[in-house]
Structure 1
């Protein structure tokens, strides 16, 4: 019998009429429910299929979100009120005659949704269950509800159990592409949020919670997603073919990392759409994956790792994982600063120490081997390698490449350039080993020693370039000490290579500043010829190193020239001799300049020294002489009063009082300026 007949069962005529109309109504209800299964979800409470009138007082019951609802099962209810989809017979007679327009279909009931496992309508099911809950408990005591409505309460509990099951199923499939639709997940999320709001309403009532409310929906959501993430990280997809040659340890980490990346991209592109923006689901998932990945790595780090696995783990922590979070798609949604490092400093410290110790050991071993090979080659009497006509050594290149590679890699692996300084801090000791080899080559002075020193000049230059250009790889004190060692090595190499040159030129040096020099141009020409011959012997170093070496010779020849001149062996008695000396010095200066420029010297500043000295010797007017001396002192603050006195003594026609005035003028100027000696020259010229 149709349920609609019960309300007027005693009246036979009415019963007959109701039977006919109820049959039509039942057909319509079946038809309408079938149609409603295809309807899209709606959050509008009006579409829930229940049309509850307000209370007489006009006040809503059951909290701010819900209208006060009449009782469904038992208790007093209006004669025209119907349960979902079951119309009152009177209403059916009055309002649903066959001639009337077909009514709109009603919504599915929770029972229908759960029976069909219709996950796209979990939001509507949640809304209806909340309304039933409010009907049962909104304005009655728990005892009354549990006593008088036990059947309805049991049914509501069962429905909530079914709702929870389908919601959990939808959440568990959140990251399974193609197994749950965006609409279904969106509906599940809305249902969860509705239930969270209802949990809060119960908290405000300060009343005993019904059994189905004793589980926090927010905790349920969070724990479900946490379990989902843990399962996916524990069972990542099969490693790609390029992982087969890696250890199981490395393959496992790579698989977890790849799973993390793929899932976070899915969250950003798809799952994010199913949640309200304020829930910040992207950062929530990122936190879950971060914690899970970190937990797995912590377990691995607790065991002793081989060196290669230690490096691999550090690279994942400091390089690969940050690179994943920096992908443009993720960087706009996830804040890595909040996540922090995958491993704590306490766990990273032993791994870093293991890595740094290994790198230091390898660097020291490699450099020692490179220096040993170079020394063995020298001891055998072999010549250094020639490239483009220059003697070269691969010591600096090999060592520099290794240092640069190791330090740069360490900065990446450790995630901190400053930690890489621990590796390069031992460079000072290694550079001292190179200096010892360098000094030993010069000390023993074998037939091939000069060739090796020329090759070493190139090494020294390369080391200096690395220390200056890659200064971030070294601590400041290490950089400073190494540069000082290299500077000493370069100076000693120049002395070693130029010493035979000066010994060969000594006979010509002795004639400078003499009467023969003043009167016979051939004296200086012989010196030039000897210098040119020696310059040929100096060739063999790399181009830039050869230019520095010839520049050093240019400076030392000029020093010897000035030293011999200020010794005062030639006396310039009158204006004519002084002018002649001026011309001779000017001519010599031009000849030296031309010769050394051809060999690559860039010491043009030396020309100004000789030219100014020549001007002082030519001038006869005391104020003019004072101006030239001050000019020379301004350019070279190490030009002392002794040098002035020795220079002016060459001019025998200048009085002692005038010499004193010139010296005082220079002294006053130097006191006023307090100039710093940038290019020492006269301090190397000893005069009496």
Structure 2
């Protein structure tokens, strides 16, 4: 073996592995593009037998140098290493130790000259360069090597690491240049980092499979990392010694490159979609679908990889996402309402669904809000909770705007042909809104929530508008009670009921629950108007018999009203005692008994005032002023807080 030049001593690793890289680049250019073909060489062995590695030794001819028996010469070792025979590592190590012993002996007894020792060391180092390149070449593409050859390369690294530790414990003589520690394990880790950068750094075609460039990059990096690490776990971990920490080394290298790419990307002003994708990968896909995937979770649980981005940066991105998404939801809801209101003003008839007037507005709005929340929940459940609060605020603003827009339509659209049908469709909308909100966000379970107040107002205004014409028709009929001095109360009430019956089909396209509410309003109106007629002070009955006869008429009419309304869906049972108790007050003659009835009545209807009581007692012309005052004083007792949803006498004005 000729004397090695200084360049032969420690050539850079990059120069050695460059031929391998050139072959890899050439192979890549021949491979078809697409995500299906972007997986690591780690996965190749799963589908087909791996081709021989570029570092695989050729078939040895019979004239190949022998490494067994006596110590081979330097020339034989060089030839063996050039042929890729890793078993030459043992004799080479022996040669190195022999050189170290000679150097020690020379230092002690003046043996070989220093120049001779340096010459021999240069030859040994040149051989180690050959060995290093062969070993690291195998480890750079471990799944392309035969298992036995891979084991040989690993054994060489283990042996070299052990020799490094021994050399550190017993430093060599000054006559020789320091060559240890060689740190081949560290070089291997650096090689893994280069492979990770190479594998993840490949850029898929922009917009591949309909995806954006950013989405394609994330998908490529994520799939590549997952596939490669699974191959490391399944195929390399059983072969690598524990001191390599092969799974942790590959995982950290891939993680560091992934994180570096995302950190670089996050430095720029991102578009809305890229911000969402970045958060989705950092907070969900990467930790859950990759690190905690079934094949990797157990292997990586003790590998501290951390987050792909710093927490502070994640919070900034989340704040940007929440703000942007809320603005999008707001804009989409406003656009949906504008389109809906245009249909009203353009006199477009609403759809019919299962016999009911139907509007898509509620479905559209709930879908818009739900999609906004779902996007946040896809990132993290905690961000979904934050988004829920933000979107509920926007939804409350929208519902108030919806209610105002509907009120304007009630005022301005009265001449439109589909006016009533669109009113019914929007009242029915309230059920869709309420049901969806209750199912998705349990809003109605919070007594402090006023989110649905605009819907309640919209429904009430709509029902009142639908009933206006009916109540206008009923008003003159109720006046007959006093105009005829209650001469024919049964016949008058029958005409009133017939009028209501004739108008009920107009409300058939309401949802059942709203038709029931409408009947409760009719029920309330009938009872209220009846009491108003009794309170007109135009009827004064001075005998007990006259009072009892009127009481019987009132009871009979009360039963007719009750039966009719309940049979048609009214659930306003709170109105049941309103007329019968007044009839009882009119019938009774004992002031003490009347007081008891009045006190009981006031507990049912706290808005029953002295003015109302005076109007009823005015019918009883046989009561003295002192008896009236005594009975009236019963109402001085506070009977409790009035429930505004069950207000009866507050609607009745007395003169």
TM range (shorter): 0.5 to 0.7
Counterparts of 1:184 and 1:665, CA distance in 2:
107
Counterparts of 2:151 and 2:443, CA distance in 1:
52
Deviations 1:508-561 (A, max 9, x none): 333558985486322222221122223233444344433333333323333333
Which of 591, 594, 601 does residue 563 from structure 2 map onto? Answer: 594
State whether residues 230 and 296 of structure 2, in contact with CA within 8 Å, keep that contact through their aligned partners in structure 1: yes
SS in structure 1 at match of 2:415: coil
Give the 3 Å change call, closer, same or farther, for CA 133–648 of structure 1 in structure 2. farther
Counterparts of 1:437 and 1:483, CA distance in 2:
16
Match of 1:486 in 2: 455
TM-score, scaled to structure 1: 0.65
SS in structure 2 at match of 1:391: strand
Deviations 1:88-132 (A, max 9, x none): xxxxxxxxxxxxxxxxxxxxx99999687567x89x959x95998
SS in structure 2 at match of 1:492: helix
SS in structure 1 at match of 2:569: coil
Deviation at 1:505, TM superposition (A): 0.8
Deviation at 1:506, TM superposition (A): 0.7
1:168 aligns with 2:148: no
Deviation at 1:446, TM superposition (A): 1.5
SS in structure 1 at match of 2:523: helix
Which of 371, 393, 398 does residue 364 from structure 2 map onto? Answer: 398
Deviation at 1:439, TM superposition (A): 2.4
1:537 aligns with 2:502: no
Which of 587, 603, 607 does residue 576 from structure 2 map onto? Answer: 607
Deviations 1:566-586 (A, max 9, x none): 556555666656655555444
Bigger drift between 284-293 and 195-204 goes to 195-204
Match of 1:329 in 2: 295
Give the 3 Å change call, closer, same or farther, for CA 192–428 of structure 1 in structure 2. same
Describe how 1:128-143 pairs up with structure 2 within 5 A: none
Describe how 1:64-75 pairs up with structure 2 within 5 A: none
TM-score, scaled to structure 2: 0.68
State whether residues 136 and 145 of structure 1, in contact with CA within 8 Å, keep that contact through their aligned partners in structure 2: no
Counterparts of 2:257 and 2:495, CA distance in 1:
85
Give the 3 Å change call, closer, same or farther, for CA 594–191 of structure 1 in structure 2. farther
Counterparts of 2:509 and 2:229, CA distance in 1:
62
Deviations 1:342-361 (A, max 9, x none): 57754885797489648835
Counterparts of 1:588 and 1:144, CA distance in 2:
133
Deviations 1:433-483 (A, max 9, x none): 433432232222213333322222123433344444444999x99x96753
Deviations 1:126-156 (A, max 9, x none): 9x9599869968xx89966998795897787
Bigger drift between 483-492 and 352-361 goes to 352-361
State whether residues 294 and 342 of structure 1, in contact with CA within 8 Å, keep that contact through their aligned partners in structure 2: yes
Give the 3 Å change call, closer, same or farther, for CA 473–323 of structure 1 in structure 2. farther
SS in structure 1 at match of 2:510: coil
Bigger drift between 551-560 and 207-216 goes to 207-216
Describe how 1:461-500 pairs up with structure 2 within 5 A: 461-471=431-441, 483-500=452-469
Give the 3 Å change call, closer, same or farther, for CA 158–677 of structure 1 in structure 2. same
**Relative contact order (C-alpha < 8 Å, sep 6+): which is higher?**
2
Match of 2:476 in 1: 507
Match of 1:31 in 2: none
Match of 2:180 in 1: 213
Which of 408, 411, 426 does residue 456 from structure 1 map onto? Answer: 426
State whether residues 458 and 541 of structure 1, in contact with CA within 8 Å, keep that contact through their aligned partners in structure 2: yes
Instruction: For structure 1, list consecutive stretches of 5 or more residues without a partner in the other structure.
Output: 1-82, 88-108
Give the 3 Å change call, closer, same or farther, for CA 380–161 of structure 1 in structure 2. closer
SS in structure 2 at match of 1:328: coil
Deviation at 1:644, TM superposition (A): 5.9
The total of aligned residue pairs comes to: 571
Describe how 1:534-683 pairs up with structure 2 within 5 A: 534-566=503-535, 569-570=538-539, 580=549, 583-611=552-580, 613=582, 632-634=601-603, 637-638=606-607, 670=639, 679-683=646-650
Instruction: For structure 2, list consecutive stretches of 5 or more residues without a partner in the other structure.
Output: 1-66
Deviation at 1:407, TM superposition (A): 4.0
Deviation at 1:262, TM superposition (A): 0.9
